[in-house]
Amino acid sequence: MNEHGTAQDELINEETPLIPQKRQQTPLDHSQLAVLYFMQICEPMMSQSIYPYINQLVSELDITGGDEKKVGYYAGLIESLFFITEALTVLHWSRTSDYIGRKPVLLLGLIGSAVSMLCFGLSRTFWTLVASRCLTGLLNGNIGVMKSTMGDLTDNTNRAEGFAMLPVVWSVGATLGPLLGGTFARPQDRFPNVFKGRFWRDFPYFMPCLVVSSYIFTVAVIAIAFLKESAPRQRRQRTASTDSEDTIAPEAETNTKDEPLPLRQLLVYPVIISISNYVSLAFLSIAFSALLPLFLAMPISIGGLGLSPAVIGYIIGGYGAATGIFQFFYFAQILRWLGERRMFLNGIGTFVALFAAMPLCNVFARRSGEVDAACWAVIGVIVVLSVIMDMAFGAIFMFITSSSPNESSLGATNGLSQTVVSIARAVGPAMATSLFSFSVQENILGGYAVYALFCGLSVAGVFLGTRLPKRMWDDQSEG
């Protein structure tokens, strides 16, 4: 060995640590993350604000023929349409953000969501409700793009801290949405001295849509003023030039690993397993979110509790508030204690008890003929379990981000995950609420067959979760 080689070996032997040193945590850009968090509130607020009154709205459209057992079919369809149409475009928006940048796509999604929400409030027929809900999904590709932006702003040293706030922020929107929907639905009945005009009688559900749209427009203005483009210009220019050429120049071959990959090359094991678990979690969560307000609204005699939209809004909003407060103070500590995999498994495992709690609550209500203390105790247990369940989302978001084959494919990876998840979320509400109505109409398992089915699916979700690794995908590659 030559003298230079010997000196190099001595340098490695004497100065290289035998145990790899932990990388120093990269500081987070809190100002940019704050803007993203405000944007993240929009989707749960928009989607869940209709839950307290959607069943009453459907029953007032006179499309059920006065049969309340059929409400679940139509309510579930309206709730699913957003995710059906979102599935058609979310991958397009996410891949577009890899080319033109995150900010313009995010702004278009915000403005489109606000306009479509106003259209929903002005709808007076079933088909106009359908059209406005479809428009919301078509224009809203923000959820995938926001996670890509989070990936741009974080790395594997600070990703847990950045993503830890996403469930908290989501909970804020999940709290405000139902509270606004339940409080401002039919304002002419709740606040007759303020909302006196004929307009409010003709459009009794416009006020909650107006309040939500006002928030979204405000966030759009904040984003225009303060949000910076997070996708590096060099990466976007390289992406555009690569797609415009039939062949790659020899000098550019060394950079191909930093370029967005074709969709087929994204389908590697880490991406497939991470997305599959996200789909499982999202499907069970959206099914539960659709079943809960329907269960709370339907009469006791057909398997529900017969509560008013305002009370339903307070219950769902209280769950969102409890989730947000708990995760704000304890998510990071629990994550460090359990790790991402165990946190996910604990969260998805709660669905077995969540779906079993609703028929139990109805049994108590039927015995007493009203919603008694035992029912409220079960509702309290549902809220507590929901808090544990929601922590699984923060864990799976980190798995998906770390599974991306390279940084330039982050938008496509998140877009792919949101496309598949949107399909699951489209199927979930329609399937859950339709099975509720079918179980009641046919008296299958005493009307409780829907809960038995979803308990079984929850067990399958836990089994799938065991396929996740004990460490993040990119930590494994580095270790």
CA distance 35 to 152: 14
- Amino acid sitting at position 17: P
Q: Residue 91: helix, strand or coil by DSSP?
A: helix
pLDDT at 71 over 80: no
CA distance 374 to 457: 27
pLDDT tens per residue across span 282-297: 999 989 988 888 888 8
pLDDT tens per residue across span 152-180: 887 766 766 777 677 778 778 877 888 88
Q: Which one is the CATH code of 30-235+263-478: 1.20.1250.20, 1.10.630.10, 3.40.50.300, 1.10.10.10?
A: 1.20.1250.20
Q: Residue 412: helix, strand or coil by DSSP?
A: helix
pTM over 0.85: no
pLDDT at 281 over 80: yes
CA distance 102 to 145: 6
pLDDT, mean of residues 451-470 = 92
Instruction: DSSP letter for 467, please.
Output: T
Helix (H) or strand (E) holding 317: helix 309-338
Cα distances (angstroms) measured from residue 323 to each of 114, 170, 245, 264, 393: 26, 9, 49, 37, 12
Q: pLDDT grade, residue 353 (50/70/90)?
A: very high
Domain range annotation of the chain: 30-235+263-478
Q: pLDDT grade, residue 8 (50/70/90)?
A: very low
Q: Are 320 and 178 in contact (CB under 8 A)?
A: yes
pLDDT tens per residue across span 108-151: 889 988 998 999 888 888 888 888 888 877 876 677 788 778 87
Handedness of CA 273, 452, 319, 40 (dihedral sign): positive
Instruction: DSSP letter for 447, please.
Output: G
pLDDT at 217 over 90: yes
pLDDT at 148: 79
